[in-house]
Amino acid sequence: MPIVDVTYARGIEEQTLRTLAQRLPHEVSLAVECPEEPYDHDLQPGDVELRFRERSPFDAPGLDVVVEVRSTWIESRAADRQERAERLRVAISEALGTTTVGVFLTLPVAGWAQG
């Protein structure tokens, strides 16, 4: 299950964020799918955890949107992680209509339990 943190600049419209929230679970699932964890296009609650946060006045100004994705390390997933991050960045940029988007894809060795 990927955990996704989205930090966005002030002034991003609520409808734009709503669109992003609707598209991100699918786009993130495509970005992290692999033979060991295939994406079946049938997302269930808890499959992708989204968290949105507006940039504070104390954050350094930068990109309009930064998306941080954390998903467990799997060798086949890690082999092309840069390409996966770039594909996700393009999909997010298209959804938002802006190119000032950053994607940080991390694949830590981790365990996950859900109930």
Please give the pLDDT value at position 45.
86
**This prediction's pTM:** 0.89
DSSP 8-state class, residue 59: S
| Residue linked to tokens 């495509």 | 30
Task: For the chain, 115 residues long, give each residue's pLDDT as a single digit of tens.
Answer: 799 999 999 888 999 999 999 999 999 999 999 999 999 999 988 889 999 999 998 988 789 999 999 999 999 999 999 999 999 999 999 988 887 899 999 998 777 777 7
Q: How far apart are CA 110 and CA 72, in angstroms?
A: 6
Domain at 3-106: CATH architecture:
2-Layer Sandwich (3.30)
Q: How many CB atoms lie within 10 A of CB 27?
A: 23
Query: Residue ranges per domain, the chain?
Result: 3-106
Q: What was the pLDDT predicted at 4?
A: 97
Q: Token pair of 15, please? A: 């409808």
